[in-house]
Amino acid sequence: MCGIVGTVDYDVPPEQRRELLRAMTDTMACRGPDAEGLWSGPSAGLGHRRLAVIDPEHGQQPMTARHEGRGAVITFSGEVYNFRELRAELAAHGHRFRTACDTEVVLRGYLQWGAGVAERLNGMFAFAVWDEHAEELLLVRDRMGVKPLYYWPTASGVRFGSEPKAVLADRALPRRVGAEGLCEVLDMVKTPGAAVFSGLAEVRPGQLVVVGRGGVRRRTYWRLEAREHADDLPTTIGTVRELLADTVSRQLVSDVPLGTLLSGGLDSSAVTALAARGGPVRSFSVDFRDAADAFVSDAVRRETDAPYVRELARHVGADHREVLLDAPELSDPAVRSAVLRATDLPPAYWGDMWPSLYLFFRAVREDVTVALSGEAADELFGGYRWFRNPLALRAATFPWLTAGSARYFGGNALFRRDLLDKLDLDGHRAARYAEAIAEVPVLAGEPEPDRRMREVSYLNLTRFVQTLLDRKDRMSMAVGLEVRVPFCDHRLVEYVFNTPWAMKSFDGREKSLLRAAVADLLPRSVVERVKTPYPATQDPGYEAVLRAGLAGVLDDRDAPVRPLLDLDLARAAAGRDAGAVSRPYDRGSLELVLGLNSWLAEYEVTLDL
CA distances from 303 to 93, 198, 308, 371, 496 (A): 57, 43, 10, 25, 29
Q: In whole angstroms, what is the distance from residue 75 CA to residue 129 CA? A: 7
pLDDT at 577: 58
Closest CA to 326 of 305, 361, 355: 355
* C-beta pairs of 464-468 under 8 Å, 24+ apart in sequence: 464/190, 464/379, 464/398, 464/400, 465/144, 465/375, 465/376, 465/379, 466/145, 466/190, 466/192, 466/205, 467/188, 467/190, 467/349, 468/375, 468/376, 468/379
Q: What is the pLDDT of residues 299-312, one digit of tens each?
A: 666 778 899 999 99
Closest CA to 587 of 553, 537, 551: 537
Q: What is the pLDDT of residues 362-385, one digit of tens each?
A: 999 999 999 999 999 999 999 999
Q: What is the pLDDT of residues 385-425, one digit of tens each?
A: 999 999 999 999 999 999 877 666 768 889 999 999 999 99
* Residues in Cβ contact with 86 at an 8 Å cutoff, skipping those fewer than 6 apart: 80, 105, 109, 120, 121
Q: What is the pLDDT of residues 259-297, one digit of tens each?
A: 999 999 999 999 999 999 989 999 999 998 876 666 666
pLDDT above 60: residue 332: yes
Q: What is the pLDDT of residues 244-267, one digit of tens each?
A: 999 999 999 988 999 999 999 999
Closest CA to 110 of 150, 155, 70: 70
Using pLDDT thresholds of 50, 70 and 90, give the confidence band for residue 138. very high
Query: Catalytic residue positions?
Result: 2
For residues 490-501, give the mean pLDDT. Answer: 98
pLDDT above 50: residue 580: no
Helix (H, G, I), strand (E, B) or coil at 494: helix
DSSP label at 54?
Answer: S
Q: What is the pLDDT of residues 142-166, one digit of tens each?
A: 999 999 999 999 999 999 999 999 9
pLDDT at 271: 98
* Average pLDDT taken over every residue of the chain: 93
Q: At what angle do helices 425-439 and 448-459 cross, to 10 degrees?
A: 120
pLDDT above 80: residue 475: yes
Closest CA to 265 of 239, 222, 211, 304: 304
